[in-house]
Amino acid sequence: MKILGLDSSGLVASVAVVEDDVLLGEFTVNYKKTHSQTLLPMLDELAKMIELDLNTLDAIAIAAGPGSFTGLRIGSATAKGLGLALDKPLISVPTVDALAYNLYGHRDIICPLMDARRNQTYTGLYQFEDEKMQVLCPQCVVGIDEIVAKINENNAPVVFLGDGVPVFTAYIEENCKVPYSFAPAHVNKQRAAAVAALGEEYYKAGKLESAEEHKPEYLRLSQAERERQSRMSERSSDSFERLARQKLCLLGTALLQIPRALRWLFHILGTLNGLKSKFPGQRQNQRIRTAEGRICCPNNIITLCSCNRQLQKDRMLYIKPYSRPLDFLIEK
């Protein structure tokens, strides 16, 4: 069984080939170059050194995340391209699991730390029992205080490794209450050999996927996505406030019209009283004709009003009361 391992999830770019528990070759670089510049040239150089025919590969193991968003995309794109071109399956290996696999057989609890910025870390807790890696805490993104508190709860010696160690060393020294140590330089960063070796175990367990199915595992939104969500939330809040202000303005306008409407009502009632005194002999339900020719009852307030239709252009209906009782003539 021949497995190609790729890891570009962190500061390190690494390529390795493992065949039947034998490391045929590994190329690892931790220097000031982007993974897009180094990953494929490293694979090409390694293939020349070990005379590798890519068609003889059984699978491609890729560190699927978490880690650097750009690095994960570069690694995943490389693995997917190779998988599609060679028609080979992919093996998604969790980055933190592969990092812990560097310390295969270690007696202490293993705590990988990857710097996730904002005082957070990609981490997990692992332990080897009977030559098998046991996952005590699956890979996650948490504050450094949370993982250290969990380590203190376990009350067992722990070993730290990963690119987050230099970032959090001061906090660990101050707050870790159990015996701890730091992994040496040759195993304290991501290595494609560990990805390929763990990928071999996954291959035996049937944990394979096609190149089309593979997706990086980010564990959280990228910085750009978080900023976009924040902007959308602010816009939503502004829209709600703007709508609330509009509703309040409409309500205020309606309240301001109440005194005017009351004045109209009192004027109409006064007009009715004037009609009753002018025509004392008529019945209360006497029908009358308005100046517009409408037949209605004087007891109905609406009949004493006319609609100003020119103002309907603004979709507002204005009621104007008659000011002269003489506009009404008794229907004979």
Per-residue pLDDT of 195-237, as tens digits, reads 999 999 999 999 999 999 999 999 876 555 556 666 666 666 6
| Run of H or E residues at 24 | strand 22-29
Q: Are residues 58 and 203 in the same domain?
A: yes
pLDDT at 273: 65
Rounded-to-integer distance, Cα 157 and Cα 173, Å: 14
Q: Are residues 301 and 175 in the same domain?
A: no
Q: Do 15 and 48 touch, CB atoms closer than 8 A?
A: no
Q: Are residues 21 and 79 in the same domain?
A: yes
Q: Do 146 and 124 touch, CB atoms closer than 8 A?
A: no
Single pTM value for the model: 0.68
By DSSP bridging, strand 132-143 and strand 90-94 are: unpaired
pLDDT at 231: 66
Query: What is the average per-residue pLDDT within 289-306?
Result: 44
Residue 85 belongs to a domain: yes
Rounded-to-integer distance, Cα 83 and Cα 58, Å: 10
Bridge partner list, 128: 133
Which domain does 303 fall in, by range?
A: 258-330
pLDDT at 329: 38
Q: Are residues 193 and 281 in the same domain?
A: no
Residue with tokens 């969990």: 150
User: Of residues 325 and 93, which shows the higher confidence score?
Assistant: 93
pLDDT in tens, 142-194: 999 999 999 999 999 999 999 999 999 999 999 999 999 999 999 999 999 99
Q: Are residues 67 and 115 in the same domain?
A: no
Query: CA angle, 225 as apex, 11 and 168 as ends, to 5°?
Result: 40
State whether residue 44 is helix, strand or coil. helix
Q: Are residues 160 and 24 in the same domain?
A: no
Domain count within the chain: 3
pLDDT at 234: 63
pLDDT in tens, 29-75: 998 778 888 999 999 999 999 999 999 999 999 999 899 889 999 99
Q: Do 96 and 114 touch, CB atoms closer than 8 A?
A: yes
Q: Are residues 98 and 2 in the same domain?
A: yes
User: Of residues 118 and 153, which shows the higher confidence score?
Assistant: 153
Q: Are residues 131 and 166 in the same domain?
A: yes
pLDDT at 130: 87
pLDDT at 310: 42
Q: What is the CATH number of the domain that holds 39?
A: 3.30.420.40
Residue with tokens 């590994």: 26
pLDDT at 224: 56
Q: Are residues 97 and 108 in the same domain?
A: no
Closest by CA to 233, choosing from 241, 272, 187, 101, is 241
The per-residue pLDDT of the chain, averaged, comes to: 81
